Structure 1
Amino acid sequence: MNPTDSPIDWVAKHIKEYIETDGRKGHRRWGVTTLLLITRGRRSGLPRRTALIYGTDGERLVVVGSNGGADAHPAWYLNLLAEPSAHVQVGAEQFAVTAVEAEGEERERLWEMMAGLWADYERYRTGTSRAIPVVVLERAGPSAG
């Protein structure tokens, strides 16, 4: 079943370009690397796809649930809380991942790394009362697509 793409217009356009070019266009955007994340909707049970900035920590991928600094967590993060198994596309490569929220010292280290990649994360953090999650995506094995 094909995933439903983000309802945010510019994100949906980014996803479309990423998919159509196997990541040749879209993997690198705004001076950073981006991936496509497919989660299972926590209420619908249907696959949902979004594009996110990512960093790497060894073999692991790191994403931030900033939601542009909004006071609510992004839907993809809430979906991962309900079902941590997901799929990603990084460039042309697609694979299964398991999401784990970083905590404590690891979270702080990864936050600093991600804020170094995307300075707006610091502005987002000071503009909201919620703790912005840092999520580690660990490769789970081959993906069925």
Structure 2
Amino acid sequence: MADTELAPNLPQWMKDHAERYLSSGGTDGHIYTLSRPGAPEITVPSLLLTTAGRKSGQRYLFPLFYGRTGGSYFVIASKGGAPEHPGWYRNILANPEVVIQVGTETMPAKARTATGEERARLWQQAVEFFPPYADYKVKAGEREIPVVVLDPVR
């Protein structure tokens, strides 16, 4: 996607991860191993989410950990437990039409915020595949961390 760029202000590890994912066509980087001091390694599946900037219209790419629900994918708008939502989430609220790359497959999708029982179920799944989300929830304080379902458009 020539008109797509990495989202601004990504931490270096996310930039490196996205570059590896992109340069391999999705054969490398679709699984991410996170090493943290004093904690066991965590291996999580990763996808690339492309959104349209809510102000600029520019297409931005974000590497995110994901889970599966039926024929769809879901991601967590945690921003590491920051008090505000990540930019990609604000982008999809303005325009839910996105593109995702899962491994070597790229597809259009429509993003929606899970609510109620669906949100609770998917949040629990997310904490199982990436336990730090539980810590992020505490750090986020009053902000409920959104769970975003990405429904492929086929």
The interval holding the TM-score normalised by the smaller chain is: over 0.9
Shift of 1:127: 1.1
Percent identity between the aligned chains? 38
Q: 2:23 aligns with which of 7, 20, 24?
A: 20
Unaligned segments of structure 2, at least 5 residues: 34-42
In the alignment, the residues of structure 2 paired with residue 13 and residue 72 of structure 1 have an alpha-carbon distance, to the nearest angstrom, of 24
Shift of 1:23: 1.5
- Describe the SS at the equivalent of 1:96: strand
Shift of 1:47: 0.1
- Structure 1 range deviating more: 80-89 or 24-33: 24-33
- Describe the SS at the equivalent of 1:55: strand
Instruction: State whether structure 2 residue 3 is matched by structure 1 residue 2.
Output: yes
What are the superposed Cα offsets for residues 14-37 of structure 1, whole Å, 9 maximum, x if unpaired?
Answer: 111101111221100121100000
- Structure 1 range deviating more: 19-28 or 81-90: 19-28
TM-score of the superposition, structure 2-length normalised? 0.89
Give the ranges of 4+ consecutive aligned residues of structure 1 lying more than 4 Å apart after TM superposition: none
RMSD of aligned alpha carbons:
0.9
Shift of 1:91: 0.5
What are the superposed Cα offsets for residues 82-131 of structure 1, whole Å, 9 maximum, x if unpaired?
Answer: 00000000011000000010001110000001110000000000111200
Instruction: State whether structure 2 residue 125 is matched by structure 1 residue 122.
Output: no
TM-score of the superposition, structure 1-length normalised? 0.94
Amino acid at match of 1:25: D
Shift of 1:2: 2.3
Per the alignment, residue 150 of structure 2 pairs with 137
In the alignment, the residues of structure 1 paired with residue 95 and residue 84 of structure 2 have an alpha-carbon distance, to the nearest angstrom, of 19
Shift of 1:11: 1.2
Matches within 5 A, 1:1-145: 1-6=2-7, 7-8=9-10, 9-30=12-33, 31-129=43-141, 130-141=143-154
Unaligned segments of structure 1, at least 5 residues: none
Amino acid at match of 1:5: L
- Describe the SS at the equivalent of 1:34: strand
